[in-house]
Amino acid sequence: MAALQVGGIVGALTGGFTGTLLADRLWLVLLIPALLVVAVFFVVLTKVEESGERQTGSIDPGGVALLTTSMLVITGGLTFVRVNGASTPWPWLVVLLGIVLSCRSSATSWVTRTRSSTCACCDGRRCGRCC
């Protein structure tokens, strides 16, 4: 998890530096992450093994709707902040409402997994790693 955070920070700083350095050549700035994505795709394709067993589960429609609504409210509120100015309080209230909805959606189960009664790694004791 720490490597993911460090990678995000390094990528953001490097992207900002590259964008400043090559400001007149936007296509070249955008080519760098595109090439990295293609490279990572082939690394994952060749080095990451396919899992033997798939977990069964279903999508929670209420959770998806709540998450979608919260993201729309947050981005809509940020648009209102841009249009009406940062000193106007009501767009910030819309953003706050979106954050509250987002916290509510993360507290609910978005994907419901069906757990089996037996577990290969812990003989059915429900270890929490795979069951």
> How far apart (Å, rounded) are the C-alpha atoms in residues 22 and 117?
57
Rg for the chain (alpha carbons), in Å? Answer: 21
**pLDDT band, very low/low/confident/very high, at 10 (cuts 50, 70, 90):** confident
pLDDT tens-digit series, residues 23-80: 888 888 888 888 988 999 999 999 988 877 777 777 778 878 888 898 899 999 989 9
| 8 Å CB contact between 71 and 89 | no
**pLDDT band, very low/low/confident/very high, at 107 (cuts 50, 70, 90):** low
Report percent pLDDT > 70 for the chain.
79
| Maximum CA extent, the chain | 61
> How far apart (Å, rounded) are the C-alpha atoms in residues 75 and 67?
12
The answer to whether the predicted template modeling score (pTM) of the entire model surpasses 0.85 is: no
Q: Where are the domains of the chain?
A: 2-47, 58-110
